[in-house]
Amino acid sequence: MKIVVLDAHTENPGDLSWSGFEELGDVTVYDRTPKFDDKEIIRRIGDADVVITNKTPVRAVALDACPTVKYVGLLSTGIDVCDCAHAAKRGIPVSNIPAYSTNAVAQHAIALLLEICSKVGVHSAAVHRGEWQRCEDFCFWEAPLMELAGLTMGIIGFGRIGMATGRIAGALGMRVLATGSHETDEGRKIGEYTDLDTLLGSSDIISLHCPLKDETRKIINASTIAKMRDGVIILNTGRGGLVDEEALASALKSGKVYAAGVDVVSVEPILPENPLLACDNCYITPHVAWTPKTCRQRVMDIAVRNLRAYIEGKPENVVNGAG
């Protein structure tokens, strides 16, 4: 069995092993493959039986040009990188990686929030510049700090990551409001379910954890921001497409939104013209919430298990109904 990995570097920059795949077939690993070059994608897939990818797209044209492909394994939870419907027509199962970074992403969302409210990085940098040494008082602050206890966090998307974020928020003394596709008993123990408009109007902090679908695309926009409290904080560790970045940038500059913390943007890597780059009160990290080594090892282990299950005739985590 021939296995090709199209974009290995972000999953494994050298601190993990591909040995699990190597036990299942002949593996060719590419650190990176041009995302928009279908000819090169097709060339690299060649006569492989199995394609493993994270963010390199496997479009219909590649599936049609590479008739030996029998299985596509994703190194991610998101499935939009593959034309899953076309793969299904060709009888090719596509498997993803569910629930591998729940705690890490929740942790990162709270880390963004704590940086916004406690300004740890700002003040550490000031101390290293010598400003504390020159201070006439025993303390100083370069920006106002904010206490989280007693505030309300609204969580849009109350699945595994949303609930994990809600648990931390509750531990910090915050009230948690939530909206999601369906209510659960577990969710009710963590937060109060409500409708979106109530959540928007009642929350001091809004954290996005919903999947990117037609109904959630740009769910944060000029209209929904207008329904929010003045001085709201917005967090996005979900998908960049959940946010209308022009509208958010405008609200950040006007003060309607006090600050935002985002780990994802609409086009990645971020474009120089992204309006959020012009907002000093927008804290941006480069899509790293999922990257602790423990999480990436989990991705590797599940991806290998998915492929082994396919080989054994019992495919797991199939997202397109094939196989």
Q: What is the DSSP letter of 243?
A: B
pLDDT at 61: 98
The pTM score is 0.94
- Active-site residue, 268 included: yes
Show the DSSP H helices in 70-179 as ranges: 84-89, 102-118, 120-128, 160-171
Phi, psi of 52 (to 5 degrees): -115, 125
- Active-site residue, 287 included: yes
pLDDT at 323: 77
How far apart are alpha carbons 29 and 300 in whole angstroms?
14
Q: Residue 241: count other Cβ atoms within 10 Å of its Cβ.
A: 19
Q: Which residue in the list 23, 131, 186, 268 is annotated as catalytic?
A: 268
pLDDT in single tens digits along all 323 residues of the chain? 999 999 999 999 999 999 999 999 999 999 999 999 999 999 999 999 999 999 999 999 999 999 999 999 999 998 999 999 999 999 999 999 999 999 999 999 999 999 999 999 999 999 999 999 999 999 999 999 999 999 999 999 999 999 999 999 999 999 999 998 899 999 999 999 999 999 999 999 999 999 999 999 999 999 999 999 999 999 999 999 999 999 999 999 999 999 999 999 999 999 999 999 999 999 999 999 999 999 999 999 999 999 999 999 999 999 999 97
Q: Which residue in the list 209, 229, 287, 296 is annotated as catalytic?
A: 287
Whether the CB-CB separation of 165 and 141 falls below 8 Å is answered with no
pLDDT at 181: 87
Q: Which residue has the tokens 């899509």?
A: 287
Q: What is the DSSP letter of 102?
A: H
pLDDT at 153: 98
- Active-site residue, 44 included: no
Q: Which residue in the list 44, 123, 239, 296 is annotated as catalytic?
A: 239
How far apart are alpha carbons 162 and 109 in whole angstroms?
10
CA-nearest of 76, 72, 68, 70 to 59 is 72
In tens, the pLDDT along 101-130 reads 999 999 999 999 999 999 999 999 999 999
Structural domains in the chain?
Answer: 2-100+293-311 (3.40.50.720), 102-284 (3.40.50.720)
